[in-house]
Amino acid sequence: MQEYNVALPLLVVGIPGVPGFNAFYYFRTLFPGQVGGIAPPNAPELTAPGNPFGPGLFPVDPEDRQALGELFRREGFKTVIDASGWCALKPAELDPVLAKRLNVDIGVNVMEAAREAGARLIRLSTDLVFDGLLESEGGFARASGYSEDHPVSPVTVYGKMMADSERLILAGYPEATVLRIALPMGPSLNGHAGAIDWIESRFRKGKPATLYFDEVRSNLYVQDLNRLLLRCAELAAPGLFHAGGPRPLSLYNIAQVINKVGGYAPELLMGCPRAHAGPMPPRAGDVSMDSGKLRALFGANVLSAWPFEDSDCPSGPDWHFHRTEAGRPEFIRQRLNGYGWLDRWDHPLRLDPRVPKGNSGSG
């Protein structure tokens, strides 16, 4: 592999989440023996005897500021990717104290430890710092959305806490990079944390899944997010950036893609407006983001459309009923969790230690 200008060793925080889980194995592949990850107490599968996740995991509670500082001093981390956060919307509404600890306090702890170490810090935030009430430009997508200049307007406890975290991190460490990311598409640690895993699990069990017509996200492949994190680690890019893919889709559209590509019964997919969700948790509307600032820095093709193939993109509310190709679950893993399965080393399935080498993705 080519050489990269990344200060090592590198630490990934937030491995239980989809972005952190995938980033850890991507960077560990690039820099063997020079990448660490924090295995928090709420993810015992990472440190269980005989686990498949391999070396480099530190059983440290990131809420413990002293323990975190000791880890930084001992290991000498020079680059930190902080993907921590608790995005469970309803539980966060019910327990805002815990939400603050997991979404604000940990981020501030990591920021202070990175600042003291003089390490480059990349913090992941969310598009849900917005309410999604910007006027849509019709149809399934729009050309632009929220820019970095729009004031935050979160409707959930989770979004409010992440907005607070952004503010505190950039105020405390202006050299940090904060990436607001859209819905990350890729495999998850526990098999049900990510959007793809959760929706497919419903279809796989023959259970209906109800998704919203009017909650819109600028989905991005974790495969592209990994490469973006690498470029941010190489190039000092302080400040706030939006990282959303160029094809915003509603949650209902996303489920259409998963249903059809996976070959599941189309009748299992239900849709409704988010107003029918009830008062809790409150739902954002169209939070698609304008990533022009990021494209100006890294190039127009820095983030691919999800799904990658135009033929996998819904063209109407009944699109998933009309099929010319027999879908299969392995197509979800190959085409929706990543792209370029046959020829890209960085496809998430090739990096996931749980997938045996040579596996076609059909297991």
* Domains of the chain: residue spans and CATH: 10-351 (3.40.50.720)
What pLDDT does 139 receive?
A: 41
Both tokens of 293, joined, read 């600032």
pTM for this model (two decimals): 0.93
What pLDDT does 48 receive?
A: 67
What pLDDT does 127 receive?
A: 97
**Measured between alpha carbons, how far is 128 from 181 in angstroms, rounded to an integer?**
9
**Measured between alpha carbons, how far is 36 from 11 in angstroms, rounded to an integer?**
5
Task: Split the chain (363 residues) into runs of 10 and give each run's mean pLDDT.
Answer: 88 94 95 92 71 77 95 97 92 94 97 98 98 61 77 96 98 98 91 87 95 94 98 95 96 98 97 84 93 95 96 96 93 96 93 70 46
Contact 21, 49 (CB under 8 A): no
Q: Are strands 120-126 and 220-221 parallel, antiparallel or unpaired?
A: unpaired
